[in-house]
Structure formats: structure tokens, C-alpha cells
Amino acid sequence: MSDSISNTPLNVTERGLVCRFTKRRSTFIFTYCDGILLDNFGFSQEDVYGKKLEDIFPSELSGIINKYCYQAWEGQFIQYETKLTGNDYIAFLAPLFNNGEIVEVIGTFIQSNKPSLENELVNTDSLYEDVLQTMSEAVIIIEKDGKVTALNENFQKMIGLIGDYTYGWKEVEYVAEDGSHLPYSELPGVKTLEKGISFHNSIVGVKDIENNQIKWLSVNSKPLTMRDHSDRASLVSISDITERKEMENTCIQAKEEAEKANRAKSDFLSKMSHELRTPLNGIFGFAQLLELDDSLNDQQRDYVQEILKGGSFLLSLINEVLDLSRIETGKLKVSIEEVPLLNVIDECINIVQPLAKKKNIRIQKQLDLQHHMVVLADPVRLRQILLNLLENAIKYNRQNGNIMINSYLEGDDQFVHIVDTGVGFSVVEYHKIFVPFYRVEGTEEEGTGIGLSLVKQLVQQMGGNISVRSKKGKGSEFCFSLPLPKKLKPVIRWEDEVEPLKSVEGKSEHYTLLYIEDNDSNLNLVKNIIKSQPSYTLLSASNGKEGLEKAAFEKVDLILLDLSLPDMNGYEVFDMLKAKEQTKDIAVIAVSANAMPLDIQHTLEKGFDNYLSKPIHVKEFLNTVSETLNNSITQNIPHHTILSTGPYGEEAVSAKTLQLSLTELKKIKEKKYRAAIAMHYADNDWSKSQIAGVTSTFEKMGVEVIAVTDAQFKWEKQVEDIETILIQKPDIIVSIPVDPIFTASVYKKAANAGVKLVFMDNVPKGLEHGKDYVSIVSADNFGNGIEAAHIMGQELGGKGKVGIINHNADFFATKQRTEGFEETIKQQYPSIELVAQEGFTDPSHGEKVAVDMIRKNPDMNGMFVVWDVPAEGAMKAAEAVGKSDLVITTIDLGFNAALEMAKDGSIQGLGAQLPYQQGVAEAILAGYALLRKQTPPYVAVPALRVTKENLLEAWRLVYNEDAPDLIQRTLK
Ligand code: ADP
């Protein structure tokens, strides 16, 4: 360094401030700060450590520093002048690298009495020395003959040298990473000096001769030209990584030991199991022979049974142990092929049926009825998985319990759920039960604790996943997934159809993205990725302000927002976007280099739709963008097991299982089918949504809709409508009969003419499933009743007095709603008393019936009304008698009920039908019939719980459009 340091010492701390910052999320925090300026602000060094910039400095100052810190964090060296507490300061901000990454920003603020600014600049060397002294790294310069000049005091300490290090450092014993001797000439700094090449993170060990310990150093070196250009030198920075190295070594050692022990254990188990199997086969075989011997008396027969029981348990234990050890030693190979899941499930049910019978357990299934429900799996292992789960579901079930097997497709995987009504277990056990030999404490049934760990490993080996949910005393639900063969990946499925695009409704499949990013190389990368995607257009903005303007004025569907922008941080931009009417609905993906789980969680909690971490990976980027654009509230439609049954007691199949593959779609399209929709009434929201769902799905299937008729609730008109439709020879009619009796003959005529009939909600009398019609599709009315009951239960805190207002008519849909509500309250909310039940025939009498009921039960807390129109009457009744705290729940998301919920009025929530989705299901089922695929008699669309919290999303899902303005405004 130049002599100027010693001639004109400049102590920064006496003339200003030295600080170090590191970046946390979108802000900078102090890791060090000292200097007279800090005193001026009234803080001590300890006060600032760990604090944010804005916590310490006044906002105008922290704003400026923040802005420049961002630039320094991008690798720039910043110098600027500023005025603080009446004095002029000159500020320097510089990035500090460690292992090639910026870890801190060093800032110095020196008072610069203006006229002598030049003088101060002369002394920047001194400033750098101050900076160097605050570093934990050692920085040295090595000159031609190996002479070392240390730029701070750490070097000597780091190489453990007591005497003069200038040349003495050459005598130290160095070792390479593998522990071998490292000659002086091979040291990174020396090689840089000789060959002019830089080194990055080279690891060098320094041996302490006295105790034979090695200190590990990470060394960066680069060539340096000295001031007089006379000679080459090398600039070397060194950090002590001994602790890190030791930790790594300990980890590696521990891992190796554990693996070794595990291998030894597995080998041992494997050998032992083999050894045990041979004699056991003998014992087992001979016991079986004995069993056949007629001459045994009863007692001897019992003994033999005991031997057989014990033997079979031991044999299965040994087999499982063998499998487990094979998996652990990598010897278990699965051979993947296309397996028809339905057949395997049926086979397994047959095998465990006798076991279930012993406990009088009913096994039900709710499956996709398509024959080609094919998965990629090893058939033998798939059987093993299912048998294991089913046997557990029986073993840990109660007497007279139930088991439900439910399977559906989601994404590119087929999911299988096995639900039981058994003893269950608590959340803390969820992971443990998959650990070999683990058994839940207190488990009395016989077992080894190996089954589930095997199941998990097998599922994973076949490319799937397994998870569990359980409740103590209630039951358990195991769910595993298996991949689907490529060619069968569906192209139309009910689930996709129910995902209205967020804020992009009504547009064709073309999206405009806006990337707010100041870093050119990131922007360029994204530009290039987008180039390959004709359906996306990319706009860009290099700072927050410009981004906000573009978002407001261009029609943007999605914003990619860099969280560290030069003028403001990403969170601020996000808040401003959400505060503005024009931009509040645009989906926003955060793009940031802070990829710690906590950062991501924080960002998502703030309301970002998604998160992308830098560096950007092309595939992940495109997936996240398309996922976000297609984001929806499908999570509101869970994979509910459908609890309703059809008009003739038929078991329901969930609409969620419906789908058409590419091949199927192609087949349908080729035939250019024609369809008609015959409504009972077409001018209400429910009908309009149904028609929209059917029509849009038909469009995708290449099916032409030739007529939509409205019978105005008159059966005569409907008969006429259908006669007229039949003249046009359609292939499909989707219809809701006005009257099941009077319309029956015209539907029969249509069926006889070969028209595929799909019914909404009801079926004409005398028509047969499979022969005359394809399917009936309705909402899960029972499930909606359950939702209404849960909302009631939660609103009343589990206790109170509740009345029911039901429909006095033999109509299966409304009956199921009331049953669902009643059963749920009785079973799950024992402290809620059902105090009254009354009915109406005319829905406009809701108010009258409700007033009556409240008069008779003045201490009532809640009321369930079977649909929204009479519920509006009940709402008025509550108002009229001054019972403002009455909690009303109902079914169907009508405008008035929604408004009442938005107002926090007496209607607190409801179960909703999904008419648009019902239409989608009907169209897909028509497709099944055209393909001559088997169709279920009764399909139901899952129930949707609606409360004030999800009102807007629910409205979008139910009606496929945004909620009316008044509701939106009331919610604000
Ligand atoms: P095993 O049944 O032989 O004990 P598993 O690995 O199959 O072994 O199961 C591990 C443990 O998980 C069981 O001991 C039991 O405590 C618990 N468990 C597994 N399945 C169920 C279930 N369906 N219901 C309740 N508990 C279960």
C-alpha cells in the first residue's frame, strides 16, 4: 500500500461511520456499525446489530442507503455525496464477496467539509484499510520473491505463525484437501504469481506441527499489477473454514457409518430370513398335513391350529423382513407395466372379504368406471400394497365398520384412497407409522410394524407417493398415487373444466406477461424462454414505477415481480398493485434469489400467487407460469366422497373422475356429432350456467349444439320441444324433465331412436339406465347438507338449539339435503339440539313458517333452510321478530343469500351446487356414451362450502363469472 496511509492517517469512525449490512428478504440489516455519526443519532454499536436500516436512520437517509445497497448487492461499487445532520458526507458502498457470492455490503460515510473533498479522496486508501480491518478474512499480497504484505491483521493468526511472516510463511507445512503434502510452489497464491491464473475457493490445509492438527483455509487469488507496473504480484484472500470442514467430515463419517451398519443389518436380516424360511416351511407344511389327519381329537386339532396360526404369522413376518432388506440393499427391483387398477382392486377386495366378514365390515368402492383405468406399476407389488392397506383397514377397524375405496385422476397420476372407520391415530404418528417396526403405542392387534414402511417404499419405487390422514377414534385415510401411461393422460377432464382462469376469463388462450426486473441478463433469459411460447407475450419494466404504470395501462394477465428493484422493493410494488382497481386481480409471481423456505413462505403469505427462485430454470419457470395462469379455487372442491345416492338409491360416482383422453376426443371429433339441450326453464342463473357448461365442453369435443329449448316449466311444451328436436336427428339430448311422468313417453321415443340421453337432476319414470339413458347428473345434495351443518356447528361453537325448515315434497334432491344436515348435526355436534322441524310446499312461504317456528322456540340459535329462496324468508322473519343473532345456513348461492353473507347478516354460510360444472360432467358423459363406454347411472358434482371468506371465488366457480358489483362492494 502507498505511504499515504502512515503520513495522513484518517480514522473513519472519528469522521463518520463504518457499517456492514446484509440482505434479509427485501431489506438490509446491520451486521456492524461504528462511528461518530452513530453517536449523533443517539445509538450505540450494540443497538444497531441485527436492526433494519430504516429502524436506525431517518427515512430519507435509510431510503437512499437502501437504494444504493441494492446496487451494491448486485456487485457495483457506489460512491455518492450526501448531507446528514447539516454536514456533507461522502459515502462509499462496496459489495463483499465470499465464495463468489455477495454476502455483505460495506458502507463508509466520511464527513467531507466541502472545499477539501479532494483531500479526502486522496485518502481513500486509508478508508479501504479501515474496511479491510473489519473483515474476518485475511487479505495479503504476495510479491515476486514470495514476500508477503498483509493488508489486515488476520493472516498471521490464520496460518498459526508466531514470528515474522513476511518470508516465514514459506516454511509452514501445507497439505492438500486429501491430506497429502502440498509443496509451496503448488499454493494457489504462488501459482497465480507465477502463471497469472486466478483461483477460486481452493482448499488448503495448514498443519500445526505441535499438535498435528490441520487448519483448513479457503483461498481466492488473482493476479495484481503493482503500482509501478514493475512486477507481478498476487492478491490473496483467505478464510478459515476449519469448522465447516470438520462438520462436513463428521457428517460424511456418520453417514458412511450409518450406511455400513444399515447394510450389515440388512444383509444379516436377509441371510437370517432365508435360514429361517427353510425350517419354517417344514413346520408349516407338516402342520398342514396334520390338519388333514382325521384321527386327531379336538384338542390336538386346536394345537395344530395354533401352530398354523403362529407359523403363518412368522412366515409373513419373514417375507416382509426379506422385502425390506432387499429394498434397503437395493436388490428389490420392480418391473413396471400397464396394470388395470380396477381389476387389481377387485381381486384384493375378494381376498380380504372373508377377513372383513368376521368383523362385519362393509367394503365399498367409488371408482372411475372406465375400463381403462390403467396405471404404471408392478402388478405383484401393487397387489401387495393394496392388500396391506386393506388388511390394516380391517384389522384396525371397529366391529360393523366401513371401508371406502375411492379412486380418481388428478394431474398425471391416479390416486387411490382407502378410508376406514377404525381406531385412527393422532397427527404426530403420521410420519412415524411409515418407519420400519414402528407401531402406534397401545396397538393391541397382532403385527410387526413393517407393512406400511414396505408399502411406502414400494409406492415410491413405482414413481408414486403415499400420505395419511387420521383422527383418533374416528378412522384413517391412506392415499397413494401411481403414474399414468403417457398415452392415457387425459386432455379433457371435469377437473380442468372447473378451473375458470383467474382474471383471464373471456380471453382466448393468449396471455400477456409483465416482467418487472432491473437485471438485464435475467430479463434476456426470460425473453428467450417466452419466444418459444407463442401463446405468451412479454412486456418488461426495469423498475417498480414503470412496472406499476405498465400493469395499469396494458392488459396484463400475469406479473413476474423481481423482489429487489432499484427504486422500491417488490413487496411495496405488490401492495400498490393490490391497492389499485385496475391491477388488483392480476396474478403476481415473486422472482427472487432468496430461496430459503421462510422467505418463500413469507412471500406466499403476503398473497403472491407463486414464487420462483433465481437462477431461473426454464422448465420450472414455464410450469409455474402456466400453473399460475390456470390457478383456480379447485381446492374448494375437495375429493369429497359423494354421499348422495341417486333417485333410485344408486350409488354416486364423483364427477371428479370423468375425463376423455386425446384418442377418445379424436374419435368423437371425427364423427361430428350433434346435440340438443332441452331445459325445463332456461331463464335463471342455474339453467344458464348448466347450458354454458354443456355447450363449452361440447365445443371442445367438436359436438355441434343444434338447439337449446326452454319449456317454461310446462310439460306439454317440453314434449313439443323434444318432438321438434327429434326431427333434426340429434345424436345427444341433455335434458331436465319438467315432469317425470308426463314427459316419459317422448324421452322413450328419443331413446328408441338411438339418441343418447343425459339427464340433469331427475329421470323420467320407466326409463332404464344403460338401455334408455346414459346417466343422471346432480349436485351432491347430501354433501351440501353436510356443509351447511358444519357451518352451523362452527358458528354456534358446537352448542345450541337449531330448527330445520324443509320441503314438503317427495323430491329426492331436497330430501337428501335435509338428511345430510340432520345426520351431521346429530353425529358430530352432540351438544346441538334439533328443536323443531317444519315444512313448506310453496317456497314463498319461508317467512311465515320461520316466524311460526321462532315464536314457538324463542331461545333458538340456528335455523337450516333447505334452499336459498325460503331462507331469504327466514332471514326476514328473524329481522321481523328482532332475532338478529339467529344463524341461518342453507343451500344454493343465490344473489340475496350472497349479499346477506357479505353483510355478515343472519345467513352465515351455505352449501352450493355447481351448475356450470354439472354441465361439464353431462357433456363428458355424453362423450362416454358416444364411445360406447360404460357409464355410471348416477354422477354427482361435489359439494361446495361457501362462507363470507370464499364468497367471491365461490361465485366465480358457481357461475363462471365475477360476483355482481354490489356483492363485491359490500364485502370491502
Ligand atoms: P402392523 O400392522 O403390522 O403393526 P404396519 O406397518 O402396517 O404394521 O402399521 C404400523 C402401525 O400403524 C400399526 O401398528 C398401527 O398402529 C398403525 N396403523 C396402520 N394402519 C392403520 C389403520 N388403518 N388404522 C389405525 N392404525 C393403523
pLDDT digits (tens, 9 = 90+) for 438-463: 899 888 888 888 899 999 989 999 99
Question: Is pLDDT at 662 greater than 60 in this prediction?
Answer: no
What pLDDT is attached to residue 12? 63
Which residue's CA lies nearest to atom 2 of ligand 1? 447
Instruction: Pick 511 or 871 by higher pLDDT.
Output: 871
Segment 202-231 shows an average pLDDT of 81
Segment 776-780 shows an average pLDDT of 92
Q: How many Cα atoms occupy the beta-carbon half-sphere of 137 within 13 Å? A: 21
Segment 619-633 shows an average pLDDT of 65
Segment 545-552 shows an average pLDDT of 93
Instruction: Pick 122 or 53 by higher pLDDT.
Output: 53
What pLDDT is attached to residue 953? 84
Binding site membership of 430 for ligand 1 (Cβ less than 6 Å): no
What pLDDT is attached to residue 19? 86
Which residue's CA lies nearest to atom 21 of ligand 1? 392
Helix residue ranges, H only, 477-587: 494-497, 520-531, 544-553, 570-579
CA torsion angle 560 565 568 572 (round to 10): 30
Measure the CA–CA gap between 656 and 415, rounded to whole angstroms. 12
Segment 35-42 shows an average pLDDT of 78
Binding site membership of 440 for ligand 1 (Cβ less than 6 Å): yes
DSSP lists the bridge partners of residue 105 as 21, 95
Which residues 6+ apart lie within 8 Å of 458 measured at CB?
327, 334, 378, 381, 384, 385
Which residue's CA lies nearest to atom 3 of ligand 1? 447
Binding site membership of 447 for ligand 1 (Cβ less than 6 Å): yes
Instruction: Pick 287 or 174 by higher pLDDT.
Output: 174
Question: Is pLDDT at 809 greater than 90 in this prediction?
Answer: no
Say which range, 497-501, 540-544, 818-822, has the weakest mean pLDDT.
497-501
Segment 471-475 shows an average pLDDT of 89
Q: Give the pLDDT band of residue 660 (cuts 50, 70, 90).
A: confident
Q: What average pLDDT does the chain have?
A: 84
Binding site membership of 443 for ligand 1 (Cβ less than 6 Å): yes
Say which range, 110-119, 226-235, 815-824, 839-848, has the weakest mean pLDDT.
110-119
Which ligand 1 atom is nearest residue 452's CA? 6
Instruction: Pick 43 or 864 by higher pLDDT.
Output: 864
Which ligand 1 atom is nearest residue 440's CA? 16
Segment 84-108 shows an average pLDDT of 79
Instruction: Pick 449 or 496 by higher pLDDT.
Output: 449
Backbone angles phi, psi at 523, to 5 degrees: -60, -45
What pLDDT is attached to residue 637? 44
Looking at mean pLDDT, say which of 168-177, 323-332, 751-760 comes out highest.
Answer: 751-760
269 CA distance to ligand 1 middle (Å): 22
* 516: helix, strand or coil: strand
Helix residue ranges, H only, 796-867: 812-828, 846-856
Backbone angles phi, psi at 559, to 5 degrees: -115, 130
Max CA pair span of the chain: 121
Say which range, 257-266, 294-303, 857-866, has the weakest mean pLDDT.
257-266
Q: In this structure, what DSSP letter does residue 943 have? A: P
Question: What is the percentage of the chain residues whose pLDDT exceeds 90?
Answer: 35
Measure the CA–CA gap between 47 and 42, rounded to whole angstroms. 10
Answer yes or no: are the C-beta atoms of 591 and 562 closer than 8 Å. Answer: yes
384 CA distance to ligand 1 middle (Å): 15
Which residue's CA lies nearest to atom 14 of ligand 1? 439
Question: Is pLDDT at 23 greater than 70 in this prediction?
Answer: yes
Degrees to nearest 5, angle at CA 757 with 754 and 758: 155
Top mutation candidate among 312, 392, 434, 443 for ligand 1, by most atoms within 8 Å of CB: 392
Segment 308-315 shows an average pLDDT of 81
443 CA distance to ligand 1 middle (Å): 8
Binding site membership of 385 for ligand 1 (Cβ less than 6 Å): no
Binding site membership of 450 for ligand 1 (Cβ less than 6 Å): yes
What pLDDT is attached to residue 176? 92
Question: Is pLDDT at 521 greater than 80 in this prediction?
Answer: no
Instruction: Pick 614 or 488 by higher pLDDT.
Output: 614
* 99: helix, strand or coil: coil
Instruction: Pick 378 or 212 by higher pLDDT.
Output: 378
Element (H, E) at 756: strand 756-760
Say how many C-beta atoms besides its own lie within 10 A of residue 330's C-beta: 9
Q: Give the pLDDT band of residue 164 (cuts 50, 70, 90).
A: confident
Binding site membership of 439 for ligand 1 (Cβ less than 6 Å): yes
Which residue's CA lies nearest to atom 8 of ligand 1? 449
Which residue's CA lies nearest to atom 23 of ligand 1? 393
Instruction: Pick 24 or 859 by higher pLDDT.
Output: 859
- Length reported for the chain: 972
What pLDDT is attached to residue 695? 93
Backbone angles phi, psi at 706, to 5 degrees: -95, -20
Measure the CA–CA gap between 312 and 281, rounded to whole angstroms. 10
What pLDDT is attached to residue 11? 62
Measure the CA–CA gap between 614 and 595, rounded to whole angstroms. 8
What pLDDT is attached to residue 491? 58
What pLDDT is attached to residue 736? 94
What pLDDT is attached to residue 1? 37
Which residues 6+ apart lie within 8 Å of 377 measured at CB?
334, 336, 337, 339, 462, 482
Binding site membership of 476 for ligand 1 (Cβ less than 6 Å): yes
Q: Give the pLDDT band of residue 227 (cuts 50, 70, 90).
A: low
